[in-house]
């Protein structure tokens, strides 16, 4: 399967939002169900696009997944500081997993960060249960940055990773 990574089109935002929300819901990463506040945040691709870049993985004209890339200074970033880019909300549809879409999306974020003047590092946060994603990040050279771990809401501790460019 040939996977193409490109910027999302506005007419794809609703579908990508649903792929993202369903990935988190079906993986048991949200405390509640469809009414979880974060599920609605995951569905709001238009808001992310207003503050960063939305990249999608596409094969055979089908959306496989996407990620939000936050360049330096973007209000989309949670943990990035000066000279850092960040990516967030990486998600691949369950039926498309294991085919390289997630890796291709992360590599595209790394490439964007490397091409951005002044960016020396790319960072991200992940939930402890996201072990498959963590293996991917480590395989691509990301290292844990436990001193930056944080909790956006009570009972949700996020692990952080960074990659020097």
**Would you state the structure tokens that stand for residue 97, as one six-digit string?**
């997993």
For residue 153, the cross-strand partners are 156
* DSSP, residue by residue, 61-123: TEEEEEEEEE-TT-TT-SS--TTEEEEEEEEE-GGGTTSSHHHHHHHHHHHHHHHSTT--EEE
Q: What is the pLDDT along the chain (165 residues), one digit of tens a residue?
A: 699 999 999 999 999 999 999 999 988 887 655 556 788 899 999 999 999 999 999 999 999 999 999 999 999 999 999 999 999 999 999 999 999 999 999 999 999 999 999 999 999 999 999 999 999 999 999 999 999 999 988 888 999 999 999
What's this model's pTM, rounded to 2 decimal places? 0.94
Instruction: Please give the structure tokens belonging to residue 9.
Output: 């089109």
- According to the model, what pLDDT value does residue 58 have? 98
Which pLDDT score, from 0 to 100, does residue 34 have? 53
- Element holding 59 (H helix, E strand): strand 53-59
């Amino acid at each position: 399967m040939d996977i193409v990574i490109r910027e999302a089109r506005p007419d794809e935002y609703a579908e990508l939002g649903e792929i993202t929300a369903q990935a988190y819901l079906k993986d048991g990463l949200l405390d509640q169900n469809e009414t979880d506040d974060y599920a609605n945040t995951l569905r709001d691709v238009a808001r992310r696009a207003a503050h960063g870049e939305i990249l999608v993985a596409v094969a055979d004209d089908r959306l496989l997944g996407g990620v939000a890339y936050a360049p330096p200074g973007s209000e989309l970033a949670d943990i990035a500081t000066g000279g850092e880019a960040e990516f967030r909300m990486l998600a691949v549809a369950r039926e498309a997993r294991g085919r390289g879409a997630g890796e291709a999306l992360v590599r595209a974020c790394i490439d964007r960060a490397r091409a951005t003047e002044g960016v020396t590092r790319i960072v991200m946060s992940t939930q402890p249960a996201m072990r498959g994603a963590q293996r991917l990040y480590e395989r691509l050279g990301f290292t844990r940055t436990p001193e930056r771990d944080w909790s956006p809401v009570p009972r949700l501790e996020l692990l952080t990773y960074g990659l020097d460019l």
